[in-house]
Amino acid sequence: MRLKPILIRITIILSISLTTLSYSTAQNYNYSQYFNVPILANPANTAVSTKSNYQVGAIYRDQYGAVGGQPYRSFGVWGDIETLGGHFKNGWGGIGVGVFNEIAGVGGLTATKGFVSLAYHQLIGIGSLLSFGANIGLVNKRVNLNKFSFNNQWNGIFFDNTISNSERFTTQSVTNFNLQAGLSYHYYLSQHSFIGVGASIGNLSQPYEGFFARGLDYRTPLIYNAFVNTLFILDNNLWTLNPNVYYTQTKNAYEVEIGLNGKRSIIEGGQGHHQILFGLYYRLADAIIPMIGYEVNSFKFSFSYDATVSKLSPYNSSRGAYELTFIKIGNFKRKVSNDVKCPPLAY
């Protein structure tokens, strides 16, 4: 496959996506390496990969440590596995689990989410893949109110936490049921390329999540996610390029991340399979995000860094966040017949 036509396709796809989404900006509510946590972005991605039938992964993010000295930290582990591979013609199911934890601020505001994700994938002919999925789980949010100080606790000399804060707190911990559903569609341009689109809606149960009396409405708003994902394999599998766009919205807050990641094989044969990973992303009106990594056999390690370019940059010296991911993939058996000609999905 020649390089020039591929680059033209990439430019067209990314230009259309950027034009469509450029009106929206937001703070970061998600991982920069969203493509390395596929079931969190969309449950339809559960066990969708055509190059493996199980994956496990872990991700860690440290953010805003340069502002106020209290970083926002998040950590997650997840895994998925193919199911029902022999029960449907050119179709299979997937089941996954995930646990994600976030903690921020002097009060230790903590959110912990655990869920089970289910999906089904159906090949349509030899050129299309349709997927749908849902995840169900529990979300716990808690805070340590003893770490906060309120105006009416000032006794003229210092903040006295033995004085009532007079706020209407009724709990320091709340747990709720949560539901997310999504769809995705991939079209294979050739044996070496595809384009995919997908969308999901989270917080479908819209649970109450406030720490105050229920007379005040603190229901979790819906979260809308969408992506455009492409893959191009070049020079007899030497290069793999994966341009993609991710969009998320919660109420009036928007986030758009656009860019490309890829890999290049450097060692083949008896010494195993080794690839260098690279990437560059831009979160609109927020950060430039370079990424590097290494893949050896079935293990992949990635590191990315958010360099702030927004109005926050003078206050954090452009130090936004860093992320580390680890992924292990594997195969127990083939999920589809040898007659299906398709490149591996980029998840």
Q: What's the pLDDT tens digit per position in 173-200?
A: 989 999 999 999 999 988 889 999 999 9
**pTM of the predicted structure, to 2 decimals:** 0.83
Per-residue pLDDT at 6: 47
Provide the pLDDT confidence category of residue 159 given band limits of 50, 70 and 90.
confident
Q: Name all domains of the chain by residue range, CATH numbers in brackets.
A: 3-330 (2.40.160.40)
- The residues, ordered by sequence, that sit 6+ positions from 25 with a Cβ below 8 Å of its Cβ are 254, 255, 256, 284, 285, 286
Report the C-alpha gap between 289 and 300 in whole angstroms.
Answer: 19
Quick one: pLDDT at residue 338? 43
pLDDT digits (tens, 9 = 90+) for 331-346: 876 555 444 545 566 5
Which structure tokens are listed for 71?
């970083």
The residue among 229 and 151 whose pLDDT is bigger is 229
What pLDDT is attached to residue 313? 66
Q: What is d(CA 221, CA 13) in angstroms, rounded to the nearest whole number?
A: 31
C-alpha distances in angstroms, 72 versus 30, 41, 102, 270?
Answer: 12, 20, 7, 44
Q: What is the pLDDT of residue 10?
A: 43
Whole-number pLDDT of residue 332:
77
Q: Is 8's pLDDT higher than 80?
A: no
Share of the chain above pLDDT 90, in %: 50
Which residues make beta-bridge pairs with 230? 195
Q: Of the ranges 46-50, 74-78, 213-217, which is most confident?
A: 74-78
Q: Which helix (H) or strand (E) holds 18?
A: helix 3-21
If one compares 300 and 144, the residue with the highest pLDDT of the two is 300
Q: Is the pLDDT of residue 102 over 60?
A: yes
